[in-house]
Chain A
């Protein structure tokens, strides 16, 4: 498989959106693994990095979910291609800036990706659209067990899987959910939620991880600690935190409808109008408008079938995807023009909102 055909085919996130994904857009689990008696990538010499890459790539490429996959080294990728893979959550920003001997293996359906020589020798990742922690864990656990049959992992009975950074020790697992929380944002409750979630040992980040902003009211919630608790224990705790966030979001939607439905409908209606008529849109504004329309779909003002269009546009409005679609590199001002034109054409035939279909419960 080539990078061009991978980019041309839809990712799990862009096309699998269904009803169940109303609040949790995507579930993702990654495992950090290292080979015994080899220096970690950040400290290894170039020859050692190459040696580790050879061992890891061979083992990974023969694992069954990755047999017909894209295998590519970071230096074979162009800047735009790297950006697209980051926007699809298939590689990290750290990998896209890394040195010799780093590579990535991505499954054909773009649900499994394994980064080699990122911060750790192996960063195994599985993602699924929707709220699918259990299923995602089963897939990644099986892949990890298959890899361990041929790779000698660095492991200590007391400290678990040994990782370059001690914050990943133990299970080496980070499980996360990408959540769309517009009502909590509109009603200024996110700060409170973040504090409560932190207190439960979970972290809240923006759409693209550490340090990124939460445009589009999309947040990533993941476990903070990896040592002293089993994978199942972490997933169970995360699940209950996510369920309670979902409940809070639904309550906030209900309250917004009760308190001032006119104001909320106005926001959604205006977002629709801007999508159809604007000529300049930066990615943050585009994300926020798409978020409002997605809220309109969840509330019932637009048909459910349109949700997957919005989820696709969340990705296609990103700078890398936009430039790739327009076949060129453009500066931010040109991109804003192109983005607006693209969204105008997407919304030209987008069904009109019908606010009379919204019932007061906030759940359609």
Chain B
């Protein structure tokens, strides 16, 4: 089984709101002092792939497109023993998910012989949640979303995917190739690479392509949609802190507020 894991580098989503700034003219977040990290769902996807390989064998290729720091994501994937890594040097991150999907699709075709493409269900920056679906369409293959794990299916050339739904889960079998979007689950928490493996990852080969190599015109970005406005919402309600002479009085007052709401429904 040839597994391809698409990974995205994003602005650290854990930075506190008070340190978060946006560039209104560029309509994107300011980098500031925030770190650039791998999107968590992409890390969940890599972890899912690693677990599959441990149990059933296979080859893992990590693929990303992004700016000059995006290589870090792939080095980390190599440190976690991804077999190959491919960087598409596409410049600054694009919010246009179709542009990204088209770029990834051309690269995947160029790589050839991929059975299953894993992508994170959404990214912690723009959070469009569309790369998987659009990529499946670009490749002309099925797409299964919100998966937490996969294993070989009942017949050769098939995979069995366990995916989360609104009220439980589904087991779905699909004939490869296909695209699967990965969500987080207690069993696919990303592992931490060993320091030695991190050092060695920088000596591993890494394929680099640019958009021209793939025949992608950067001017086609934003032909799907564009960000017309970006702002920080000012919607803070003023919290009434429950006061009281004693803990019991406070709990009383709190319970009363809750009861009032229950009765108003």
Q: A and B from one assembly? A: no
